């Protein structure tokens, strides 16, 4: 209870400090008229309260409130990202399990798995759209493309990082490779898996947002970003507010993984990241 209170207090203080820093920076640059690295005004850096006020106002005349529009978009993007995250996690995990059982496959495939991530997602996304037709499925695949890689690399590491003695113990029971996998390798790799899932969770949101662009999907946060980008000089706060919502979505995904880790991973304190 006390620990929770302390944590909430720390969080509040941090958020307030960051907000204070933002407004202080604004104030210094506006009053001194400094133009480096860029001039500060209501267009380049709107006041925080302007941003949050924009959320409570209609995004266009007679339209619904901006917050309503953005939450709808966020929900839309979240579904794509979740599908992509799940797909990427399953594929990434399966790849790692395959690779840990075959040195040959590891040597043959790992370089290409690494190479896959050197291709910019912006170059891959249009191809996926061509293959799968524009839709939430293509967006999910693009998100999965960003998601699977950390899962594969970390899980592989975790599956390999078993204690030799533990492996011998399993051998003394004449355990099958399947039993070694599920009773030893997978449980001992969970901390590695969850480190990867934390990276992947936020990456999947980014992947979904980027994936919406070549698919010309307008219902999600990607569409909202494109749209408010066009009107930035008129209503800069709208784009900022969209970014706040996008960040909140990424953080939600991250926290969901953290919560799952708390439930699933039961390891000695020194093994928990």
Partner 1 sequence: MSVVAISNLTKTFPKGNVTALTGIDLQIEAGEFVSLIGPSGCGKSTLLRVIGDLTPPTQGTVEVNGKAAPRARRDHDYGMVFQDSVLFDWRTVAKNVSLPLEMLGWDRAKRKQRVDELLGLVELQGFGDHHPWQLSGGMQMRVAIARALAFEPALLLMDEPFGALDEMTRERLNIELLEIWRRMQSTVVFVTHSISEAVFLSTRVIVMSPRPGRIAGSVVVDLPQPRTNDTREATRFFELVTEVRELLRGVGADQHGSVEAEVR
The CA distance from 77 to 57, in Å, is 22
CB of 166 to partner 1, least distance (A): 5
CB of 198 to partner 1, least distance (A): 19
Residue 184 DSSP code: I
Nearest residue (CB) to partner 1, 88 versus 191: 191
Return the closest-CA partner of residue 73 out of 255, 256, 239.
Answer: 239
Nearest residue (CB) to partner 1, 144 versus 180: 180
- Could you tell me if 265 and 194 are in contact, meaning their C-beta atoms sit under 8 angstroms apart? yes
CB of 273 to partner 1, least distance (A): 14
The CA distance from 242 to 99, in Å, is 40
- Could you tell me if 147 and 138 are in contact, meaning their C-beta atoms sit under 8 angstroms apart? no
Nearest residue (CB) to partner 1, 140 versus 196: 196
Nearest residue (CB) to partner 1, 31 versus 172: 172
- Could you tell me if 52 and 240 are in contact, meaning their C-beta atoms sit under 8 angstroms apart? no
Nearest residue (CB) to partner 1, 120 versus 164: 164
The CA distance from 149 to 165, in Å, is 30
Residue 245's SS3 state is helix
CB of 272 to partner 1, least distance (A): 10
Nearest residue (CB) to partner 1, 25 versus 173: 173
Residue ranges binding partner 1 (CB under 8 A): 163, 165-166, 168-169, 171-175, 179, 183-184, 187-188, 190, 265-269, 271
CB of 268 to partner 1, least distance (A): 4
CB of 171 to partner 1, least distance (A): 6
- Could you tell me if 61 and 233 are in contact, meaning their C-beta atoms sit under 8 angstroms apart? no
- Could you tell me if 45 and 52 are in contact, meaning their C-beta atoms sit under 8 angstroms apart? no
Residue 65 DSSP code: B
């Amino acid at each position: 209870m006390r620990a929770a209170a302390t944590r909430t207090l720390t969080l509040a203080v941090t958020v307030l400090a960051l907000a204070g820093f933002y407004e202080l920076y604004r104030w210094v640059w506006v009053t001194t008229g400094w133009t480096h690295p860029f001039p500060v005004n209501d267009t380049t850096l709107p006041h925080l309260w302007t941003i949050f006020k924009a959320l409570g106002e209609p995004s266009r005349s007679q339209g619904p409130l901006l917050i309503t529009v953005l939450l709808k978009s966020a929900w839309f993007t979240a579904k794509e990202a979740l599908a992509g995250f799940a797909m990427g996690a399953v594929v990434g995990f399966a790849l790692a399990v395959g690779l840990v059982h075959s040195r040959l496959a590891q040597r043959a495939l790992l370089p290409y798995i690494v190479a896959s991530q050197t291709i910019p997602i912006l170059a891959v996304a249009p191809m996926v759209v061509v293959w799968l037709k524009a839709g939430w499925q293509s967006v999910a695949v693009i998100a999965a493309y960003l998601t699977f890689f950390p899962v594969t690399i970390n899980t592989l590491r975790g599956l390999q990082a078993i204690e030799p003695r533990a492996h011998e113990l399993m051998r003394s029971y004449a355990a099958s490779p399947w039993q070694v996998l599920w009773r030893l390798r997978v449980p001992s790799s969970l901390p590695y898996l969850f480190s990867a899932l934390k990276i992947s969770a936020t990456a999947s949101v980014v992947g979904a947002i980027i994936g919406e662009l070549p698919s010309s999907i307008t219902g999600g946060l990607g569409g909202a970003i494109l749209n408010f980008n066009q009107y930035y000089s008129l209503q800069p706060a709208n784009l900022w507010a969209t970014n706040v919502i996008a960040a909140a979505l990424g953080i939600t995904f991250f926290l969901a993984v953290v919560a799952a880790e708390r439930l699933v991973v039961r390891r000695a304190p020194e093994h928990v990241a």
